[in-house]
Amino acid sequence: MKFPIDRFQSLKTPFYYYDLDLLTRTIDVAMDQAADPRYHIHYAVKANANPLVLAPIRDAGWGADCVSGNEVEAAVVNGFAPDSIVFAGVGKTDDEINYALGVGIGCFNVESLPELEVISQLATARGVTAKVAIRVNPDIDAHTHHYITTGLNENKFGIDLRHLDDVVDTALRLPGIKLVGLHFHIGSQLLDMEPYRLLCLKINELQAHFAEKGIQFPSINVGGGLGIDYDNPDANPIADFKSYFDVFRNNLHLGKNQQLHFELGRSIVAQCGSLISRVVYVKQGVEKQFAIIDAGMSDLLRPALYGAHHKIENITSADAAEEVYDVVGPICESSDVFGKDEKLPGLHRGDLVALRSAGAYGETMASRYNLRPIPASVGI
């Protein structure tokens, strides 16, 4: 990636930089690959809720996938059509449900029987009907990091297959509820398409089962989770949307007039973002050399939270002779490390480094730990 270094010099580090041209190209490729009138993409707002990032996604006409009342509000405030908003999450509060009913969202992705009952009560009290999809836990192993798999029956998400018939029957019976479909989301950062193929087969099986009972769902939502290349962001700046959408095209049997919904987050926004930080000190340890930068886990939590690695680049002097560094943040936690034994062009105090592929689950996870400020952002 070519960074607009001149524009960076006057900005206070650390900050998130978004390459909005790459974002637009990514959206275009995803739209091309999903060009079927029955396919609908809802952007997963939790990946990045920065208005700079939301604007081109909204302009593409996509919906929003939200997991809190504040995310629903952010989607509405940023111009997403309320009826294109879907709302998942295992712990929706009454306030969140009431807010979503008030703005008239497109669908609640319901994760438990008690939640279904509460939505029914609150909708009935307001004299409205809540559109609902049942989030199913299909017990498919996405073979990804155990903190980011969501579709196994040991996870807290969704309705277990063994309880699904009961929950569907209840949804069809409860007042204030219109059952519109089934929802799935099996995990995140999936690069192998096999779990998605297995998901398609499972959905076909479930649809056949419900068809026998005379139940046909207007829509199926297969969630998100498509992964990106964190190691080689320049070689693969755009996720493999073709393979992803082909799996569903080739394996999922849609019924007549049935709509298929997708909820993509990371694959849309990860590669367009970098966290730009400045080297504060280069410190000689006993057997190590540390590059201490002014970004920490409060700005980009993924390495400390999941052991994730973001490619690190010296963007001030890319051609200097290489040396080996542990690249660490300033925060008082041993896990505040961005890279160990990183071979980088020689770093000096004041140099700028880029932590790549940080557009997803970066800025939205920033905290004020150590009373640090929330990082700024710039879109160019």
In the structure, how many helices (H) and strands (E) does the chain have? 11, 17
Q: CB count, 10 Å around CB of 194?
A: 12
Q: CB count, 10 Å around CB of 337?
A: 17
Choice between 274 and 314, CB closer to ligand PLP: 274
CB of 71 to ligand PLP, least distance (A): 10
Choice between 261 and 372, CB closer to ligand PLP: 261
CB of 160 to ligand PLP, least distance (A): 17
Choice between 134 and 264, CB closer to ligand PLP: 264
CB of 227 to ligand PLP, least distance (A): 8
Token pair 């992705």 in the structure block, residue: 109
- Say if residue 94 is exposed, middle or buried (CB neighbours under 10 Å; 0-12, 13-18, 19+): exposed
Choice between 52 and 282, CB closer to ligand PLP: 52
Site residues, ligand PLP (CB under 6 A):
44, 46-47, 65, 67, 88, 185, 188, 223-226, 263-267, 360
Q: Taking a C-beta distance cutoff of 8 angstroms, is the pair 264, 11 a contact?
A: no
CB of 148 to ligand PLP, least distance (A): 7
The residues that bridge with 293 in the sheet, in sequence order, are 279
CB of 51 to ligand PLP, least distance (A): 19
**Closest CB to ligand PLP: residue number:** 265
Choice between 267 and 274, CB closer to ligand PLP: 267
Choice between 88 and 308, CB closer to ligand PLP: 88
* Residue 44 C-beta-side C-alpha neighbours within 13 Å: 28
Can you list the positions of beta strands (E) in 105-194? 107-110, 130-137, 159-160, 177-183
Residue 93 to residues 87, 119, 159: CA-CA distances in angstroms?
Answer: 12, 10, 18
CB of 324 to ligand PLP, least distance (A): 33
